Amino acid sequence: MKTICSILLMLSSYLPMEKNAPVAKLDLKKYSGTWYSLYSIPTIFDKGSRETTTRYTLNKDGFYDVLTTYKKPKDEKIYSRNSKMFPSDEGNNGELQAQFIWPIKVDYWIIELADDYSYVVVGHPDRKFLFIMSRSQTMPKKTHDEIISRCKAKGYEVAKLTAQFRG
């Protein structure tokens, strides 16, 4: 029995994984505005934060000025930080780069986006982080479960997701 389980486990690692890629089309103006980070596998900058809200403002130079506000564990004070987000050279797909510290840029891929821009899923080419964000502080359970399932199929470690808002 152990041999059969080992073989099945080994074979499952060869099953095709859904492609982890940025969305093909992104309307930069529609993406602007406020997003609530509902669940995340955080970056080094986000570890321990909660109730994170990010506002993307498309500036005249074609990139976003980003204002992120958040609370730290056991602290009700609101903290903030500024960063920048740069669209790809094509400017119309979900492949962006975030810049928290000049001159370093980090890949920021929009891997899923609701048609009405009500939610977005942000990932990384190497699956290092994942953010499920919404225009509101809550999301229907069915939508959440479907997103989680698709992220898992793309190879993200969804068990590491943490909730940002308590609803």
State what percent of residues in the chain have pLDDT above 90.
73
Decide which of 33 and 18 is more confident: 33
- List pLDDT tens digits, range 34-61: 999 999 998 777 788 899 999 999 999 9
Name the residue with tokens 């982890």: 20
Output the pLDDT for position 91: 64
* pTM for the whole structure: 0.86
- Give the separation between CA 85 and CA 98, rounded to whole angstroms: 4
pLDDT at residue 24 greater than cutoff 80: yes
Residues facing residue 54 across a β-bridge: 35, 68
Q: Which residues contact 61 (CB under 8 A, 6 or more apart)?
A: none
Output the pLDDT for position 7: 46
